[in-house]
Chain A
């Protein structure tokens, strides 16, 4: 972690590395994961992160919930976009609060941010800090691109799907491969988005009403996690 002043950044900037908090039981092969940003990155227990995942915490903290699976080549975190790039460059100096860097990086910071966002009174702050939170048992498949503010438990985002910034994806949703969700959408629980482009939407009523189906799904993903824990090798840290 270097002290990145604006002057320094205008020269060849070294990629800022986010403070990472990995809880025990999580699989996080740190050396083969690409990370950039200032805000903390939190990996909660029993989450599995494959190698070659890209995390961006330039605009807000990223939290990966317990039992979530992040597959390779996916990108998590709010990236620059063409339209906002200029704005963000102006905002950047103010936006990096010294507290983020000076305080010990960790869970507390991320949660504080989240609570700040979820409460309605501080909407203005939420616009500045764009965090990404994946809840328990979320599965992100290869090549997916997640900038959503919140993905709730049990949701599956399939290969190559793109979730725009500021989206709220409900519980047990399914985003089919190569679907694009435009920024700022709110998907209710049990939504299935399928088809081409922005896709067709349907609510899986049966899945919602059938008792015990949710536990079944979570159990399935926990079995998946247990297998991946054996398969994904975490290279030992050097030195």
Chain B
């Protein structure tokens, strides 16, 4: 699969919760700001090459967020529940009780073509005589029509009901009542020879007997048997010990464990065993070699053209070997579903119950809670970084001196800088702490340095704020821009001005000053690169590994590898990969641990009951009560593919 770089996957903590609950840094202990205690746990880095990681990594767009657990929820840790069933063709909602009794298919006029699956339409078949009007189902695509199977309808409505009473060819099927009547008559016919004529008609009917008849016969037989055996039980009417009674099940279940009890209390032979079905009237169909011959004969006559394809047969709900056996397929119903959090059962998404509406009533998507991260190669050019960083790393027009960076072939052992931009979707300013292993896990460890691992991002305030303050700054990007200003104001909202905020201002100034001199801008350690209303850009320096030799970087990982046997193996005993790389081993993936701290407005829940574990209520300078919140998760930045040294 061709990967498009750069990409970001977020690891949902649910995978680790199930396997190693206390060890993972998502546990609430970390949130109580005693991170020093669990040094050991912190050292356990997330390994994107672990086969298990495949099950926990998701793009941000696929994730939900539970507001009560304050945790990311992936499709695995959210429950789905069906809100309503509806037909995609007529958009009628069918109640779930109807779905249970009548099955998950449309019971109105919606059918699919048995040949090509297009929706069928009901057309009038006009005749010179207007009284002779009839309707057919016809396919607008492949021109199949119910005339092909000899069916036409009297009315254009309630087609499903009409179809149910008709065989292919147009003969009516027997209703359940008629079937029962026929069966009774047949039974009496055994004893009473006077009903010769009826018997004859029954035999005629037999010739076109189908699955429905068999089913109704066998059902009638077992109903009779149940009634008989129940009646023969010593307690008669109350049905306590008959087949099909709830008592029967418990008796069977206890047959071995409490064998003595029952037998000691009552004799076994009180319950007469149920008789097996016997004969066609009771739904037993014996194998008939003649039938097979008939099928072969029929195949000979209709040929290849007349037989149904396997696919077409699979759409039918009963045996249909020939085109003339096919029936229109009722349209499958669809569902609207809500999702719930698996742990707290709160609803995460809920669509509107109206079938035609595509809107959501509740939709807690992670995009609104988790900062978006975008990565872009830092090209040493005098142009200030744009406010909207490119998601895709399209090669920008460069001055001739600056080499362009091809993400599909990152040069080995050459330090490369990237701009990592975080967008804050929250309405409170947040403090972000990023952590990454110095060397990426795997056989070939690349050196990764985050130049500014701790920084602040402004609140996602009104967009116009930025636009209005931007007017003063104008189009010239050389002076300390709007980003720095709004950063400052955002810092003012916080309880105390942080050194990070000051650094932010400083860095922005320097960057711009440097830009004034048209020299290449240098990234500085501990300083942010740029920031705006609700975004901050920092610099990430990567030294891609040398793919030709298994780097010594795998050694520091060895301890981790021994801890975790499932880890992608960095076993020195194995021959080094001279023959070549394993699949996607040259992809540079950086695991990053993101921790977000912020103070949110206090909600009613926090005041009422015992607050959630991570909710620490504090007062800020103005005396407003705030809740300290924290969110922490691992994510994986896919940077690019490392090229071999030529």
A-to-B contact residues, CB < 8 Å: 174, 176, 192, 194-195, 202-207, 210, 212, 216
CB distance from B27 to the nearest CB of A (A): 54
Closest to A207 in B: B143
Residue contact B141 to A194, C-beta cutoff 8 Å:
yes
Give the residue of B126, B127, B128, B143 whose beta carbon is less than 8 angstroms from that of A192.
B143
Please judge, given known A-B contacts A174-B143, A176-B141, A194-B142, whether A205 and B128 are in contact too, CB under 8 Å: no
- In the complex, which residue of chain B has the Cβ closest to the Cβ of A205? B148
Can you pick out 6 interface pairs between chain A and chain B where the beta carbons lie within 8 Å of each other?
A: A176-B142, A194-B142, A204-B143, A205-B148, A206-B147, A212-B128
Q: A158 to chain B: closest CB distance in Å? A: 10
CB-nearest residue of chain B to A172: B143
List of B residues within 8 angstroms of A192 by Cβ? 142-143
Q: Which residues of B contact A194 (CB under 8 A)?
A: 116, 141-142
Nearest-CB distance from B496 to chain A (Å)?
68
- Asked if residues B305 and A203 are in contact (CB atoms below 8 Å), the reply is yes
Do A212 and B115 have beta carbons less than 8 Å apart?
no
B145 interfacial by beta-carbon distance below 8 Å: yes
- Beta-carbon nearest neighbor of A174 in chain B: B143
In the complex, besides A176-B141, A203-B305, A204-B143, 9 extra interface pairs with C-beta distance below 8 angstroms are A174-B143, A194-B116, A194-B142, A195-B116, A202-B144, A204-B148, A206-B147, A207-B145, A212-B128
> For chain B, which range describes its interface: under 10, 10 to 19, 20 to 34, or 35 or more residues?
10 to 19
Closest B residue by C-beta to A201: B305
Q: Are B145 and A206 in contact (CB under 8 A)?
A: yes
Report the minimum CB–CB distance from B352 to chain A (whole Å).
36
CB distance from B240 to the nearest CB of A (A): 58
Asked if residues A216 and B142 are in contact (CB atoms below 8 Å), the reply is no
Describe A's contact surface by its main secondary structure. mixed
For the complex of A and B, 9 pairs with smallest distance between CB atoms? A206-B147, A194-B142, A206-B148, A192-B143, A204-B143, A174-B143, A192-B142, A210-B147, A206-B145
Binding site for A on B (CB under 8 A): 115-116, 125-128, 141-145, 147-148, 305
Instruction: Note all chain A residues with C-beta closer than 8 A to B147.
Output: 206-207, 210
Chain A residues contacting B128 (CB-CB under 8 Å) are 212
- Chain B hits for A203, CB < 8 A: 305
B643 to chain A, nearest CB (A): 40
Whether A212 touches B141, Cβ cut-off 8 Å, given contacts A202-B305, A203-B305, is: no
Residues in chain B near residue A210, CB distance under 8 A? 125, 147
Cβ contacts under 8 Å, B125 to chain A:
210
Closest chain A residue to B115, Cβ basis:
A202
* CA distance in complex: A205, B143 (Å): 10
| A216 & B143 in contact (Cβ 8 Å cutoff) | no
C-alpha gap A72/B490 in the complex (Å):
62
A210 vs B116: C-alpha distance in the bound complex, in angstroms?
22
A216 to B148, CA, bound (A): 18
Nearest-neighbor residue (CB-CB) of B118 within chain A: A194
Q: Report Cα–Cα, A206/B126, bound state, in Å.
A: 15
On chain A, the residues within 8 Å of B116 by CB distance are: 194-195
User: In the complex, which residues of chain B have a beta carbon less than 8 angstroms from the beta carbon of A205?
Assistant: 148
Q: How far is the CB of A182 from chain B (nearest CB, A)?
A: 19
Residue of A nearest to B126 (CB): A216
The docked-state distance in angstroms from the alpha carbon of A55 to that of B115 is 36
| Residue of B125, B126, B127, B141 with most partner-chain A CB within 10 A | B141
Instruction: Please name all residues of chain A whose beta carbon is closer than 8 Å to the beta carbon of B305 when the two chains form the complex.
Output: 202-203
A194 to B126 alpha-carbon distance, docked (Å): 26
Across the interface, name the chain B residue whose C-beta is closest to A219: B126
What CA separation (Å) do A192 and B141 show in the bound complex?
A: 9
Alpha-carbon distance A206/B148, docked complex (angstroms): 5
In the complex, A174 Cα to B144 Cα: how many Å? 11
Which of B116, B128, B143 neighbours the largest number of chain A CB atoms within 10 Å of its CB?
B143
- CA–CA, A202 to B115, complex, Å? 10
| B residues near A216, Cβ cutoff 8 Å | 126
Interchain CB contact under 8 A, A212 and B143: no
Residue of chain B at shortest CB distance from A193: B142
Report A-chain residues with C-beta under 8 Å of the C-beta of B145.
206-207
Chain B minimum-CB-distance residue to A156: B143
CA distance A192 to B128 in the complex (A): 27
Contacts of A202 in B (CB 8 A): 115, 142, 144, 305
Chain B: which residue is nearest A190 at the CB level? B143
A212 vs B134: C-alpha distance in the bound complex, in angstroms?
13
Q: Which residue of A lies closest to B128 (CB)?
A: A212
A194, chain B: closest CB distance, angstroms: 4
Provide the residues of chain A in CB contact with B143, threshold 8 Å.
174, 192, 204, 207
Residues of A within 8 A of B127 (CB): 212
Shortest C-beta distance, B390 to chain A (Å), equals: 38
- In Å, the complex CA distance between A149 and B417 comes to 67
Residues in A neighbouring B142, C-beta threshold 8 A = 176, 192, 194, 202
**Chain B residue, CB-CB nearest to A176:** B141
A174–B147 CA distance with the chains assembled, in angstroms = 17
Q: From residue A170, how far is it (CB to closest CB) to chain B in Å?
A: 14
Give Cα A206–Cα B136 distance, bound, in whole angstroms: 11
Chain B neighbourhood of A207, CB < 8 A: 143, 145, 147
Bound CA span A106–B523, Å: 83
**C-alpha spacing A212/B142, complex, angstroms:** 20
A212 contact set on B, CB distance < 8 A: 127-128
- Interchain CA distance A192-B142 in the complex, whole Å: 6
Q: In the complex, what distance in Å separates the CA atom of A228 from the CA atom of B447? A: 72
Cα-based distance from A194 to B115 in the complex (angstroms): 10
CB distance from B114 to the nearest CB of A (A): 12
User: Closest CB of chain B to A189's CB: distance in Å?
Assistant: 13
- Chain B residues whose C-beta falls within 8 Å of the C-beta of A204 in the assembled complex: 143-144, 148
Shortest Cβ gap from B557 to chain A (Å): 51
Collect the chain B residues with CB atoms within 8 Å of residue A176's CB.
141-142
CB distance from A211 to the nearest CB of B (A): 9
A202 to B116, CA, bound (A): 11
Distance in angstroms between the alpha carbons of A190 and B19 in the assembled complex: 64
**Min CB–CB distance A62 → chain B (angstroms):** 27
Distance in angstroms between the alpha carbons of A193 and B87 in the assembled complex: 29
Complex: chain B residue closest to A191, CB-CB: B143
CB contacts (< 8 Å) of A206 on chain B: these are: 145, 147-148
A215 shortest CB reach to chain B, Å: 10
A195 to B117, CA, bound (A): 11
Interchain CA distance A153-B242 in the complex, whole Å: 71
A residues near B115, Cβ cutoff 8 Å: 202
A135 vs B378: C-alpha distance when bound (angstroms): 68
Which of B142, B145, B147 lies at the interface centre, i.e. has the most chain A CB atoms within 10 A of its CB? Answer: B142
Docked complex Cα distance between A192 and B125 (Å): 20
- For residue B46, give the distance in angstroms from its CB to the closest CB of chain A: 45
Q: Looking across the interface, which residue of chain A has its beta carbon closest to that of B309? A: A200
Give Cα distance in the complex from A110 to B388, angstroms: 67
Q: How far is the CB of A91 from chain B (nearest CB, A)?
A: 40
A204 to B116, CA, bound (A): 14
Distance to closest chain B CB from A220 (angstroms): 10
CA distance A205 to B145 in the complex (A): 10
Query: Could you say which residues of chain B place their CB within 8 Å of the CB of A174?
Result: 143
A212 vs B126: C-alpha distance when bound (angstroms) = 9
Residue on B nearest A192 in the bound complex, by CB:
B143
In chain A, what residue has the closest Cβ to B113?
Answer: A194
Question: Measured between alpha carbons, how far is A206 from B323 in the docked complex, in Å?
Answer: 12
